[in-house]
């Protein structure tokens, strides 16, 4: 059983502050900023491709509520909602989860560098994305 399934089943200590019939939200134990929260489905799904649309919608609505709480109760100016989907994307726990991270001007956290496409690269990528799936 994965660590987040243990959280759902109340088998390990955690700081859960939101719950409905499909999802829970709790504080991340290694926060980027205080209030950094995780929103997870109660049912185990490893990735976004696996989750039902109904459960995904519940996760998004819960993330919205958590973000509002971070702003209203913790004074966050803004927040990031982050999904690391797969090991190459930085997913460590293979139970689908959103990070809801409170942000403040000048907090020093940068998520990724930006770069430019090489000549012709954007067209090549675009054409692959619009071609019919087999």
pTM of the model: 0.91
97 is catalytic: yes
Distance CA 78, CA 1 (A): 34
What DSSP line would sit under 114-130, residue for residue?
--PPPTTHHHHHHHHHH
Domains, the chain, with CATH or none: 3-130 (3.30.428.10)
pLDDT tens digits, one per residue of 90-108: 999 999 999 999 999 999 9
Burial class (CB in 10 A: 0-12, 13-18, 19+), 3: middle
- Residue 134: pLDDT band with limits 50, 70, 90: low
Helix, coil or strand: residue 99: strand
Out of 15, 97, 99, 114, pick the active-site residue. Answer: 97
Question: 31-73 pLDDT, tens per residue?
Answer: 999 999 999 999 999 999 999 999 999 999 999 999 999 999 9
pLDDT at position 27 over 70: yes
């Amino acid at each position: 059983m994965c660590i987040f399934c243990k959280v759902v089943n109340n088998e390990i200590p955690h700081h859960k502050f939101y719950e409905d019939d499909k999802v829970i939200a709790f504080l991340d134990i290694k926060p980027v900023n205080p209030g950094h929260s995780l929103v997870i489905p109660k049912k185990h799904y490893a990735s976004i491709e696996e989750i039902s649309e109904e459960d995904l919608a519940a996760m998004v609505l819960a993330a919205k509520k958590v973000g509002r709480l971070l702003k209203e109760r913790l004074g966050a100016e803004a927040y990031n909602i982050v999904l690391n989907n797969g090991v190459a994307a930085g997913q460590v726990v293979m139970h689908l989860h959103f990070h809801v991270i409170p942000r403040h001007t000048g907090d020093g956290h940068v998520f990724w560098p930006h770069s430019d496409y090489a000549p012709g690269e954007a067209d090549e990528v675009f054409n692959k994305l619009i071609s019919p799936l087999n």
